[in-house]
Structure formats: C-alpha cells, structure tokens
Structure 1
Amino acid sequence: MNDCLFFGLNQYPILIKNKPNKITKPIQFKFENENEKQIKQIASGYFSTIFLFKNGKAIEYLNQNDSKQNLQKIQIENIQKVTVGVQNEAILTIEGNVFAKGKDINPKNPKEFINISSLIEDTNDRIIQDVVSGYNSIYLLTSNQNAYGIGSNFFAQLGFDSETFKKTEKPILMMKNVSKIFSGIPSYSVFLLNSNQELFGCGYNCYGQVGLEIKETEEENMKELTKIQNIPKGKIIDIQTGNWHSVMLIEIEDENQNQNPKRKLYSCGEPQFNGNSQTEYLTSFFEIKSSLFENDDNILDFSVGYENTLILTEKGKLIGFGRNINGELGTGDTEYKPIPTQIELPKLRFNENISNYHVHCGVYNSFLYYSPSFSNLEEDLIKLFRRKEFCDISFKTENGEIIEAHKLILKYRLKDYENQIEKLQEIISKIN
C-alpha cells in the first residue's frame, strides 16, 4: 500500500467513499486496487484526479456526473508526466508525445485524448520535453527549447493580444530559447524562463500575480509576454501560480560552500493568499518569512492550489496558508489562514528519506505522498531516447563517482526499454 494522505473537498470527483464532502484533517488515501504500483505523481483538478505510477501507467478518478464509472485506467502507455487544469488534461510519454483533452483542446470531443504534439507545424519540433497545464490552456516545451501554447487565450495567457486572438486548437509558438515553463491548475497566467535566467510572464494580472505593475483599466491587466523585473537573486527552481497569487522557489548558494544551498519562497499577487501578511497587492516577488521554515530548516517541496499554498520542509513539517473553506490546508477546520500555519500529521509508515515526499494542491483538495525519484541513469536514458543521436553522457553512481560513456547510442523501442537499461548498466559496470 502507498503512503498517501488526502484532505479537502471530497467530491467532483469523490475520492474517498463513505467520508464527508469536506475532510479537514489529513487521512490515509487507499486505492481500490491494493496492487497498484508506487506513486510517481498526482495531478488533481476540479473534475478529475490522476494518479501516475512508476511503471508508466495511470488511473483517473472522474466526476461521477461525467462518467458512470468513477475510476478508470488511462489507455496510454509509458507515461512520464500527467498534468491537469480545471478544464483540460495532458499526458507526456517517454517518447516525447503529449496527449491532451478538454473543451478548448478538442471541442468536437472534449473527453477524448488527442496527440497535440503532432499538431506542431514544424515537424522537427515535435519531441516534447515538458508539459504544463493552466486553467484552460496547455503549454509545451520542446527538446529544441521552444515554448508552445494551445487552448484559451482569453486573458492573453498564450502571449498574444487577447482582443484579436481568443483561442487556438493547434500549438502556437510563444517564445524560443526557453529552459522552463511555469503555470498552475487554476491559473490564467504563465511564466517562461530562458537559458539566461531571464523571466517572462503573461496572462491575468489583476492582482499582480504575474509580478507586473497593475494598470488602471481591467483590459490593460491582460498582458502580452513581458519581461519580469526585480527577480530575487539566486537560481529559480520552480514557480507555481494560483488563481490570484504566484509563489517562486529560489535556491541560494552558500558563499562558504559549507552547507547545502538555502531555498527561499517568494510570492506576489492578492494579499489574502500570498502568505506575506501584506494589505496591498504585491506586484513583484517578496520573500515569505516564517520561523516555521527558517533558521536551520529548509524548503523541500511546495505546491499552489486555487487560493492556497502548501510547503513541506526537510524536517518533515507540513505548512499551509491561504484559502481553507474546504479543509484544503488540513488544519482541522475551514478557517482562512493568512500566514503560514503548521499542519498536524498522523503517524504513518513513512520512509526515513523525507526527500522522497511531495505535496500537491488540487483546485480544492490536497495530497501528501511518497514518491521515490528516478535514478540518474533512468533520467539520462529518457533524454537520450528523445534526442535519438550519438552523444556523451555522464552517470553518477551511488558513491558519487562519475563514469563517462562515450558515443553511446540507444535506439528507442518500447518493448526493449527495460532491456536497454540492463544493457547500459552492464556496460557501465565493466567500465567501473
């Protein structure tokens, strides 16, 4: 059985049967099939929740109003990542294909997955490295470091003028030379980070949640792709966007290199939900300060929901702030929490390695779950499969040694995936 906790709205879909609609304290989530493999990732929206397992298969819980069967298997193999918006879903496979569904993605049949990566006009740009969902838009990052968007552009969240360009059913190029894309399940905005660590944003900015100055008229809040100024110093690890606020995780190197890099959180947007105890809208990123994750503790993971945020520290503390009307903060009540508040966790059979735990905020519910990371070997193999070319690759062994495997080519075949891993491990062991 997997280590997984659930709290928040228990409907649309119903995830735990015979339990209240609002679960305000973290409780154990149990799968109907106890033989399910180890969880790799969870993605939860308003109408569906997807569990991805390490074996590359996924199951989906649906709103019972939309389906006679609440739980079903997703008929796509070798899944690497799942992502859910409020009105869309997207699935990235190991081969680099993205299958998606939703009313703004496939209006004729919104419940059917289609291969949206195959719709990219440039045939040399159809291998996808990452996929991110917004409220009703999906963003693709290709292996050539190009960012594409598909779906609604009503708030200019695809980086184009929303007055003349409302939506698209085919991916359109947003920006080149992109290293990361950041958005969020309930978000009408997106951030793009280029290889020079320059950050750009666009979309709904009525409360400053894109980190841009708020204009006087609502129409001017709908930004086209714009460079974000006054970014905190350090390496941007992640940015997640809610409906009215955004949170950024920055890694700051220790000057003396005696300690691990310190991770700090910064936020912008609506003051009720950004955790900064401010009374005015934050139109640039400000550090979220709390004794709960300062001093000798560090940020391990975080997640942003509709109007709330959850934080997991390296010492195993779960902390939340923002909206809590459905119990999505897990504090045992439904009271709004303007500042970071620690959440009491039940005793679990948690593994000693806290770094394998993750938090995920859906639209109105939340999860804390155990998910071991892929090995370096597996991650490098996936990258190599997508590139399909001769290259030099480095692998880290458990004892930290670096082994060079020169000009090694692996031809990607689904049926030979496990055999290729074993073959490469054998080669490396001989080199070592």
Structure 2
Amino acid sequence: MSNLSSLLLSIEYLNEEDSKPKPEKIQIKENIQKVTVGYFNEAILTKEGNVFAKGEYINSKNPKEFINISSLIKNKNDRIIEDIVSGYNSIYLLTSNQNAYGIGLNYNNQLGFDSKTLPKTQKPILMMKNVSKIFSGNSSDCVFLLNSNQELFGCGYNYYGQLGLGESIEETKIQKLTKIQNIPKGKIIDIKCGNSHSIIYLFNGLGKYTYEFTEIKSSLFENDDNILDISVGFHHTLILTSKGKLIGFGYNSFGQLGTGDTEP
C-alpha cells in the first residue's frame, strides 16, 4: 500500500443477499502509518499517533464505526501510539512511552487480567510498562510482550502450549503476564502467532513453540540459505528462504500447504 497520506479508505462488505461487493467509504483525515485486521476488529494507526478502530468488541453501539481508541487512554501522557497489533478478539497498543495497552475481548485472559472479573473492555487498559515490541496474530488469543532487556512475557490462551511455558504449566488460560524462561539463545527478531501455535524467529536461527521451545530442524535449510519471511495461519506455517525455497508444515485438511492433497 503506497502513499499512505491523507486518504479515502475503502472497505468492502459483502451483502449476503447480493454476490456483488458494496464498498463502504470511510474518511480518515490523518496520515495513515499502519493498518491491522483481526477476526473481529480493524485498526488504523496514523502518523499523528492516533488509533482509529472498529469492531464488535471495540464499539458495541456501532461496530461498523471507527472511533479514536487512543483518546480513551486514561493517562493522557500515553495517548501517542507508536505501534498497533490485532489479535483474534482484541487490539494491542504500544505507546511512545513504551507502555502496552489492550482493548477488546478478554475471555481467554489475552489482556492479562482475570476474564471472570474483566470479560471485555471498550477502553484501553495498561498491561505492562517498559515494552519494546508486541506480538500476536489475527487468529490468536494469546499475546507476547518483549521488554527492552529482551525478556519475553506472555498471557492468554494456552490450550495447545502456544505460550511456550513448558509442560508444567497445566492452565489452558494464563491470566497474568508470565515470563517465558525457555527461549533458545539469540535476539528475538519476530514472533508469529496462530490459533494453536506460535513461531519465534531468532537472530541465530528459528525456534518453535510446542509445550516448550523446540528448534525446527536445520536440515530443512541449506547452509547458506536465510529466512526472508514467515507467515502463520490458523493451524499451519509457511517459511520463505533467500533462495526462493518455500517450506510449509502443519494442518493440511483443506490443502493449505499446497501439496496437492488434503492429508492432515
């Protein structure tokens, strides 16, 4: 998407009774920097540091209306936003003061609070301070927060061990942000989160979350091949290498790995 200056943003909605898409035009009178999409939400970050979002769990009165959620942050010093990340049912904000906020649904504790006392919130709530980066995914109900010391914390849905907390963690929902201890050595470059798994990309290689971190076998890559990009779907993963090699693994019942069959 080029030239993200003042623009007329068009989002298409498909009418169930009409096969032709009908675009709905939304005027955003600020310079667009980033757009994220979750399963139940959409968010727009502007260069002015504002976040406009919409969704069923963001604005229940009018889910199709974009509202400025950054202006709802209680601490006025945190209302300038540097980054946004969409989860399955929630949106995460990183402020210019390096504080992480969450808004939306919290039924899997993905906002770092007990879902019984806080099932959802339509105002951003402070999750953690001193945060350098936030990781989640549009099909994920878990979140990772990385601080300036390269310490990683996570909370949310953990039924398949996607938080990488080890087999000793039996809870399917992690209520509070918990430090992830078993990370292989290396600088964290990126984390991709699917519905039932998470992938961590390290400077010295690639790791995978099972119940705890497990290195993806280096035999998949040639010695002088590097990783260019990683994409995580609902239950599968694709990796693109610098030599143009595409590596896929995971759930394949709908043929999403492109192997020509639908073997799971």
TM above 0.5: yes
Change (3 A) 1:216 1:197: closer
Which residue, out of 48, 54, 64, partners 2:2?
54
Is residue 119 of structure 2 the alignment partner of residue 191 of structure 1?
no
Relative contact order, higher structure (CA 8 A, sep 6+): 1
Is this contact kept in 2: 1:102–1:110, CA < 8 A?
yes
Q: CA deviation at 1:188?
A: 0.8
What residue identity is the alignment partner of 2:244? G
Greater mean alpha carbon deviation, residues 323-332 or residues 204-213: 323-332
More helix per residue: 1 or 2? 1
What residue identity is the alignment partner of 2:86? S
Query: Which residue is equivalent to 1:105?
Result: 58
Is this contact kept in 2: 1:99–1:114, CA < 8 A?
yes
Matches of residues 372-411 of structure 1 in structure 2 within 5 Å?
none
Structure 2 counterpart SS, 1:81: strand
Say how many residue pairs are matched. 258
Alpha-carbon distance in structure 2 between the residues aligned to 1:215 and 1:109: 43
Greater mean alpha carbon deviation, residues 282-291 or residues 304-313: 282-291
Query: Which residue is equivalent to 1:115?
Result: 68
Q: CA deviation at 1:293?
A: 2.4
Q: CA deviation at 1:202?
A: 0.1
Cα RMSD (Å)? 2.0
Query: Which residue is equivalent to 2:16?
Result: 65
Matches of residues 224-239 of structure 1 in structure 2 within 5 Å?
224-239=176-191
More strand per residue: 1 or 2? 2
Q: CA deviation at 1:86?
A: 0.8
Which residue, out of 118, 125, 135, partners 2:88?
135
Query: Which residue is equivalent to 1:265?
Result: 206
Alpha-carbon distance in structure 2 between the residues aligned to 1:335 and 1:73: 42
Is residue 130 of structure 2 the alignment partner of residue 171 of structure 1?
no
Query: Which residue is equivalent to 2:247?
Result: 319
What residue identity is the alignment partner of 1:329? L
Is this contact kept in 2: 1:207–1:214, CA < 8 A?
no
Is this contact kept in 2: 1:102–1:111, CA < 8 A?
yes
Alpha-carbon distance in structure 1 between the residues aligned to 2:208 and 2:146: 17
TM-score normalised to the size of structure 1? 0.57
Alpha-carbon distance in structure 2 between the residues aligned to 1:66 and 1:199: 47
Unaligned stretches of 5+ in structure 2?
none
Structure 1 counterpart SS, 2:71: helix
Change (3 A) 1:60 1:294: farther
Change (3 A) 1:216 1:291: closer
Query: Which residue is equivalent to 1:250?
Result: 202
Which residue, out of 175, 181, 191, partners 2:134?
181
Change (3 A) 1:267 1:74: farther
Is this contact kept in 2: 1:206–1:214, CA < 8 A?
no
Identical columns (%): 69
Change (3 A) 1:323 1:123: same
Which residue, out of 212, 227, 240, partners 1:284?
212
Unaligned stretches of 5+ in structure 1?
1-52, 253-263, 269-281, 337-432
Change (3 A) 1:292 1:216: closer
Alpha-carbon distance in structure 1 between the residues aligned to 2:256 and 2:219: 22
